[in-house]
Amino acid sequence: MIEFKPVTRHIGAEVSGVDLRKPLSEGEVQELRRGWLEHKVLFFRDQHINDEEHVRFAENFGSINHPAFKKDGGSPIHVLDQTDPKGEGGDEWHSDNTFEPVPPMGSLLRCVQLPSVGGDTMWANSYLAYETLSPPIQRLCDELTAIHDITASMKKAISKGHDFDLAEIQAKWPPIERPVVRVHAETGRKALFVNRASTTRLVQLSDRENEALLPYLIDHIRSPEYQVRLNWRPGTMAFWDNRSTQHYAVADYTERRRMHRVTINAFPEHADAQGPEEPQAR
């Protein structure tokens, strides 16, 4: 029987009673999806699976999103292999790829190799970030849109030695406008949908108003009561909802850390009817 053991009051649960090496029944898929929507991020321990089993498990929950910047052809596995992660972009609170016309629904990250110490990942509850704003600020945010732009994160990657053509990437993903408050397609709950990696401006506000409000909204996710922290072990997998969470990769190591990730898009029945999936290019 599948069981969910909450890790904190507001986000995260460890899952037991399922073997990811085996195909899942429809009932198991539905139970895992229910727990995933409730807890926002699920942790599976001691699941020593291969890439094929990783992809097969992911396909139960969404269609495969092929990563935007991979250099190794069409494999759905994105290998994160780092020894010097500081400033690479993961060490900022963010939702994945909010600059894309349709941001991914979620990701499944599997630990393959760890440094001797460090390399944790943190997640935060974006629903709670919205719900703990005062009602007047909530009402203001409900009316606002924001610009999401890939430029800053790409400049960081290039400065760290990654071989990207900035002009080509900017042409492929121009700045995009989306709501500051996202309504989750499956739960109907509102989530704060701005992040330090990609959000550059609140459209309806002046420069001075942006200087005051946007940093506050971005940093609001940093409150510890919204968060959960995972200490990885080889064979651990984390499965998070990109619509209701942000995450942060702790860059406190200098030895090799290797993770395999599969990112998924929503099936049509779970896609947003409005909001981030109907953006405007800027």
Q: Could you give the residue numbers annotated as active site?
A: 94, 96, 247, 261
CA dist 213 and 219 (Å) reads 10
Q: How far are the Cα atoms of 35, 129, 207, 241 from residue 185, in angstroms, in the given order?
A: 16, 18, 32, 12
Give 91's contacts (C-beta < 8 A, 6+ positions apart): 85, 248, 249, 250, 251
Torsion angle of the four alpha carbons 232, 234, 237, 242, in this order, in degrees rounded to the nearest 10: 50
141 touches 180 (CB < 8 A): yes
Categorise residue 75: left if φ over 0, alpha if ψ from -120 to 50, beta otherwise: beta
Q: Residue 46 gets which letter from DSSP?
A: S
